[in-house]
Structure 1
């Protein structure tokens, strides 16, 4: 495949081109899910229930981080803006995110997502309100799990036109996401204290999937496999910084700001890097691991501050951002795109929601 290099553009121009594609992604998601809902509703209204749940999750907005990085990787690599395959790829990433969030909320027993009741809570409430048979909680979680599975199926359908290199990358990304989620649950259940493993899980379940893989997928769809290393050097550290910021917001943020319950990692005994470091530095946190009582969030927050763990993680984030920016500065990209990726790194690592 011959790649025709695009002329360097200003930051405003490339952002507008990407926004135009993002608008197409939203339209693609709407058309696809609306058609599926109408199709299954025609058979029986109940059959459309999981699709309505997917639409609910996707329509709540969100950062659209993965589509943004996929489109950025594609455009920065000289991909043609009129290519339909990259729109499908970005839409697929958002459906993959819906799959992950819907099922993650069940796993974490979370009541809120993006400022609204989670899918399994909505479904359980409807079960109770209508007086249906069986246990409302199990019904709600069952519908949510199936809706998540269906979102994954739909994501795969939108990747039908991927060439083999993009297909291999897509498959690896899906596998990493699920294995990372499993390890997150397993390490919490076993109370494994291993800061190195905690960092690896953060990269596996979130870092690669949020930034590096979408970037490389975009470059791969544009035929620029040679940019994979540069995007990995940028995307891996930035993806870890993204997850560490998420951990800090969970520990010190508010439900109103995050749009989901604050302190959920503590409630679910998640062994994040924050907690792993706190265990190493303070015996009071080690003592929490062996008991059955709910973790004292106020105590943990105090320890994270007093022992310098919060400051350590903030320094780690800054170092990761520096590494990402240094890597992208050396990449074979137009200067306008280098500047844009530097801007995105700051937004991702220092966001407040």
Structure 2
């Protein structure tokens, strides 16, 4: 399998990721129907998505001097998409999200199966437990896919790619902890809410969503230390811009496009940079109202609208947009300084546009 465009990579990774579910679990076929029952929410989840992490991996490979991508890139891209699925399944459990990409979240799908079949015990507890172990399975499959990719490149390149993957895996766990911790911290008017929110952005999402896939692809392609450092300089601010834009969509996104209810981040109590900027700009009465409503799962659409209006009127949304644009511009400056081959630079620049100028 040899591919030449990021569209080819996206399509081939989509096919490979779904195939990997079957290939890596075929050894458990004697278990019978429960295996497919277990994999069904993963198949649904992996049938959607833009494969941006896989495309970033491919762009990193091109930056290492390759004219075309290869089977190793497709396998590494599949590993990254399976890792992403792990993070989404676990994140939906922790956030109590009901939907993902317009479909029931994995834990809700499992709970629904429990209810439909009138099983014993409590459906929600079953759904949560099943989703946790599904996420664990997806993480294992992700590692298996990366190992296949490593077999196709020189040993030194494979080792470097694995090191990046391992750091990514550990950092996402830390970032998830920072996120859930931030939601339960007492409110403090200490001027550090924005700093804490940006710390979550960096460690939970920005690096694993953009920086690590880009650098991993370059490492797999044999890129040297200078190239990896240059791509990190592109990937980190671009990843932060990507996640900050995602946080805007979590409050103002169109449900028909995002696949999640409007204002879901408000109901989940996310202490995002957008919330921190709002709290710093409103008076004491509005600040208390914001904090009282944030994190209420039963927040009515009218209350979501009230908070949306508050965010806009305070100037926080405009300031948040400037944070996104500053990071996007920093990434593009770093891209210019990286002096990549023309086709690789064009690939990264195109992805930068897709990551930061999006509606879902």
Task: Give TM-score, length-normalised by structure 1.
Answer: 0.90
User: Aligned in 2, Cα 1:82/1:269: closer, same or farther, shift over 3 Å?
Assistant: closer
Is the aligned partner of 1:335 residue 2:334? no
In structure 1, the residue matched to 2:310 is 303
Moved more, 171-180 or 161-170: 161-170
Q: CA distance change for structure 1 residues 218 and 116 in 2, over 3 Å: closer, same or farther?
A: same
Structural mapping, 1:283-322, within 5 Å: 283=284, 284-289=286-291, 294=296, 296-322=303-329
Unaligned 5+ residue runs, structure 1?
Answer: 1-14
Q: Which runs of 4+ in 1 moved over 4 A?
A: 290-293
Shift of 1:144: 0.9
CA distance 1:36–1:344, shift in 2 (3 Å): closer
Question: Structure 2: which 5+ residue stretches go unaligned?
Answer: 151-157
User: Is the 1:25–1:90 Cα contact (8 Å) retained in structure 2?
Assistant: yes
Say whether residues 1:143 and 2:130 are aligned partners. Answer: yes
Task: Tell me how far apart the structure 1 counterparts of residues 136 and 269 of structure 2 sit (CA, whole Å).
Answer: 26
Task: Please tell me whether the aligned partners of residues 54 and 77 of structure 2 are also in contact (alpha carbons under 8 angstroms).
Answer: yes
Change in Cα spacing, 1:320 to 1:228, as seen in structure 2 (3 Å) is same
Q: Distance in 1 between matches of 2:255 and 2:110?
A: 22
Structure 2 counterpart of 1:34, from 22, 34, 40: 22
| Aligned CA distance change for structure 1 residues 321 and 103 (closer, same or farther; 3 Å) | same
Q: Equivalents in 2 of 1:291, 1:63: separation in Å?
A: 33
Alignment of 1:183-202 (within 5 A): 183-192=178-187, 194-202=193-201
1:53 aligns with 2:41: yes
Give the alignment's Cα RMSD to 1 decimal. Answer: 2.2
Residues paired across the two proteins, number: 339
Deviation of 1:232 after TM superposition, in Å, equals 1.4
Distance 1:348 1:293, change over 3 A: closer
1:168 and 2:169 matched: no
Rounded to whole Å, the distance in 2 between the matches of 1:45 and 1:213 is 36
Quote how far apart the aligned CAs of 1:150 are. 0.4
On the 8 A contact 1:227/1:332 being kept in 2, the answer is no
Contact 1:233/1:324, CA 8 A, preserved across alignment: yes
Q: 1:3 is matched with which residue?
A: none
Shift in CA distance, 239/191, structure 1 to aligned 2, threshold 3 Å? farther
Deviation (angstroms), 1:181: 1.1
